[in-house]
Amino acid sequence: MKVLVAVKRVVDYNVKVRPKADGSDVDIANVKMSINPFCEIAVEEAVRLKEKGVASEIVVVSMGPKQCQEQIRTALALGADRGIHVETDAELQPLAVAKCLNALVAKESPELVIMGKQSIDGDNNQTGQMLGALSGLPQGTFASEVNVADGKVAVTREVDGGLQTVSLSLPAIVTTDLRLNEPRYAKLPDIMKAKRKPVENVSPEDLGVDVAPRTKTLKVEPPAQRQAGIKVSDVSELVEKLKNEAKVI
């Protein structure tokens, strides 16, 4: 079974970003970039499927500038077999990414596509669902458990108020939630070996996709600064303030 995994290059989760001075965007010059944590979980799940003998090949794909190679290499070090880099310096919005993925699904015919439920930069939570719509493949989003058997994948989903299990016939799309697994760290020998794994370079044009943005960011500004709090001396003062100042009780 071939598995296609999408990984996105995003600002590392430890970095505190700031808006650019002109308010046009978030300033990500010279900040640390990593694989989106949800995508890392997707890679891990694919590698586990391969270790179980369920998956036979893992193809990892990333879209964006030249430096996305780094995230592809990390995924290769974690256990993916080969990479595809859809290289472009254009701004990529979820629909454009979903269209590129759809073209790759047509080309590669994977039986399973695993991707993060969202990326921690845009937090859009759209790409997996859009790919489902474009490709006509069934989708199991927010997965906390994935079981492949008999041409089907059972996906346990984290939904409001509990868990829901859906059964999809393959090929299918799964998007990962945080509790699906705990990603491993890549070992030194695997990092060194990953250098030799093949990475194919294509452009959105090669895939016949127009990536032009459909939405426009008007302004990016920091959240309002919070006022410093005060200390109350006792419970009765707290209650008094909640009643009369905050008017919440």
- Contact between 238 and other proteins (CB under 8 A)? no
**How far is it, in rounded angstroms, from Cα 199 to Cα 220?**
35
β-bridge partners, 5: 60, 114
- Cβ distance to other proteins smaller for residue 11 or 96: 11
**Does the footprint of other proteins cover residue 77 (CB under 8 A)?**
yes
Closest Cα to residue 82, out of 160, 208, 194, 6? 194
Q: Indicate which single residue of 106, 133, 159, 192 sits in contact with other proteins (rule: CB under 8 A).
A: 192
Rounded CA gap, 58 and 82, in Å? 7
- Choose the binding region for other proteins from 27-35, 53-61, 98-106, 173-181 (rule: CB under 8 A): 27-35
Q: Please tell me whether residue 195 binds other proteins under the rule CB under 8 A.
A: yes
Q: What angle do CA 219, 175, 29 make, to 5 degrees?
A: 35
Span from 43-51, 65-73, 123-131, 143-151 in contact with other proteins (CB under 8 A): 65-73
Cross-strand bridge partners of residue 84: 61, 200
Number of residues that bind other proteins (CB under 8 A): 22
Position 232 contacts other proteins (CB under 8 A): no
Is residue 26 classed as helix, strand or coil in its secondary structure?
strand
Residue numbers of the site for other proteins (CB under 8 A)? 14-16, 30-32, 34, 69-70, 73-74, 77, 185-192, 194-195
